[in-house]
Structure 1
């Protein structure tokens, strides 16, 4: 363990050894990293624990500097564990560089099958017992972290003192196809709202897409920028400042050169920063698997379902005069052709998409009998998580209290500072 200080905080880096497969506790072990954060003036106090589960899948816990965002509110009364879920951050990595150590793609896919919410929750339970001596802790789950928290309530509620969920109440039953069938109309609404705010971006987006249709364009990493990849910039529209970020990115895309007009280096660098999966490859590899519950393979659901919404086809759009529609957090087979961080894992991704033996993640009967205080922020028309699905699940979890708001987008727990966490704690405690 290593301890050090930031303004107002004492931080301690902790590493935990856990089984790769919890059904085989004596088998292969991996490492999970967590960063403890406690208020500097309370570092010696006996405080209850709160574990933070980041969104994703595939993202390590957010790296805070001092008492930023919700963390400042949390350390007023908790000792916080910012957990890098298995395969992310400083935990044992899973990426194009390390996965070949597992062997052929089929071995890699078998390995990655142990990186869903069920294994993450089992990790949490081992870690909780080691840290707290068996005391219950509070879970704060953002986005996919809320999916994990819902699984936690389904399988190990005895470890939970309180559960707080932000933008992450999953459907208990929906298949990946149903998730994306609900998503595409929602994505379209976000794009239309963006163009209503920034009408000049309609022509800009079409012009860039037309250029990409006519030219081979490489990103600085060597990846290829295609019209479909350009559309993926719509992932920005799920955050509070995302519409503005997208506008600023598009506004100076072109530059004059001796060979004629080209996309500028600055534009391509900024696009790469948004689109590259180098820092979070598990997001692409496992994104559809987080919805799989023994109802057959996901089989590239986002790609298949998109065919039901031809208005998202860039080629058809450019053949007419309609605005180019961006997409959201959808992952497609072509990602594994255009992104150098993913292309070595193309066959592994295919095998995961074809996999059928995914275990169910939620227990509706146990959730209906829930006794753990639960509060959830549901963001109205959230780009990433369907509001109707979330509210259906909220009704299925006994005692859960919701805060439905359009004040924030999906990143409300970060953008809202301490307010979101403060509201959820008050809801869970029956103070409001």
Structure 2
């Protein structure tokens, strides 16, 4: 891919960004007609086209001067929530303060995102999604790849707002709308208030610096009631474990102090009543604990199948959070991670925040997640595995969980059901398999 093509995209994208705010559709039409008239009216003795050129040029000059004479004095406050979700339109409050002594009408407001243009390295190394039917010209020029990467980095689009009349020296509240398209961090840097000239050709623009960021969470699917496998298990570790993973010791009775009892277990009120040391006798609580293993191992930086896997993980984890259980989210990024949620440890929002930032693991093998699973295996009641492929390494993990008597729900995402041997999947006694086509995720999830 020649670098000069990237530089053309980079430069033209900046020009387009500026012109779309400064010049209206009518303005572009007049400019095109002006160029056409100039080409035809070079010989003024043969036709009168030059008169059209002169007329259009006069209109453009007047429109330009009018747009330059407009004076702005505005300020604004934008109120954003902490999170938004892919595919769910976000409405938020904007308060605009008109600091002029005149009523301002016929205004528009544009939200400005941080520069979403990819770097040369990103453009060179990141292929567009495989579902796009690429033509030889697409492959050579990378036009679709550029547009896809810009959309991916921007994370969403903002609706242009037609502002109501702004009274002099007053504040007006309006509602903005953002449509998230990709998970990640959406960065807004400013907003632009624009007013067209009397001919509606050019916009006079005033930009208000207002940097803010918004975390876009993964898309969530509707799920049927899911009965997760497994029974309650003893969670060793006592109070020290309770503070870190949400375990608790349940009060059972009072008894006399014995040598070796912890001072922290002394029941001071009872000691005061009977005149001798009394301690609380407790027993560890048993409860359900599941692992949610997210498969992130692929060679591409982005892929639709990984995005769907993350969305399914978020949907399942949100469902589990409504139950009285612990959930260990396990995946591998730059290193192996395990985050525990449930029973008052962390809330759903924290889990979704983590999943919003999950990326593919391109430099490690699947077995790098095994140590994380082994660390928790003795405490697990069951396991949910979300796989983006099915091979020998993943089979070994399921076989190991089966041998350890851990009930497992396995979701395999694929583009083609026929590539999987369904008879082979039936050999695992404690594993339940569901094959999900990424083109029909919602319908197939409802059949689990």
Q: TM-score, normalised by structure 2?
A: 0.24
Structure number with the higher strand fraction is 2
Q: Which has the higher contact order (CA 8 A, sep 6+)?
A: 1
Is the radius of gyration larger for structure 1 or structure 2?
2
Structure number with the higher helix fraction is 1
